[in-house]
Amino acid sequence: MTSFQPGRAGTRTISVAAPPERVVEYLSDARHIPEWAPGFATAVAHEHDDVWRVETGAGPQRVVVRTAPEHGVVDVVSADAPHLGLFTRVVPNLTGAEVVFSLFFPQDTDPATVDAQLTVLDEELRTVREHVER
């Protein structure tokens, strides 16, 4: 019997002075990924349905942008491994929206790598806020 080895989750959140619908609309448009995640994507091109080709520093990747706007869900996940990627929730707060980004790391991921990626998530959230509060 194989034992279950949980990974590590990393979650960051930011308050945004914009309606949740505006945030979801912005994040749902994959063409915006290079704006708010420039360390990940330098360009995107639509393939079909909800599948996009993303040009990254490590070469092209195919991602799926899964959305459920009525629930504030926008997930940008690997087309080949849909359990890997960025899982986003946008919920109303008292004056606008709370944006939550979550990533999952394999158990053996170096803690310094996790910390560096979480710092990037903080930067990406600030960029999303700048774009949707305009």
Q: What's residue 1's pLDDT?
A: 52
Q: Is residue 44 part of a domain?
A: yes
| CATH number of the domain that residue 119 is part of | 3.30.530.20
Q: Please, are residues 17 and 130 in contact by the beta-carbon 8 Å criterion? A: no
Residue 124 has pLDDT above 90, yes or no: yes
Q: What is the per-residue pLDDT across 25-46, written as a single tens digit (0 to 9) for each? A: 999 999 999 999 999 999 999 9
Domain, as residue range, for 27: 12-132
pLDDT higher than 90, residue 4: no
- In the prediction, which pLDDT does 88 show? 98
Predicted pLDDT at 105: 87
Domain-embedded: residue 85: yes
Residue 3 has pLDDT above 80, yes or no: no
DSSP 8-class letter at 42? S
Residue 87 located in a structural domain: yes
- Count of domains in the chain? 1
Answer yes or no: is 3 within a domain: no
Instruction: For 61-107, write each residue's pLDDT tens digit.
Output: 999 999 999 999 999 999 999 988 999 999 999 999 999 999 988 88
Q: What torsion, rounded to 10 degrees, do the Cα atoms 24, 102, 115, 94 define?
A: 60
Residue 17 lies in a domain: yes
Residue 128 inside a domain? The answer is yes
Span 48-58, pLDDT tens digits: 999 999 999 99
Say if residue 5's pLDDT is above 70: no
| Residue 116: its H or E element | helix 111-132
In sequence order, the 6+-apart residues with CB closer than 8 A to the CB of 24 are: 67, 69, 72, 74, 90
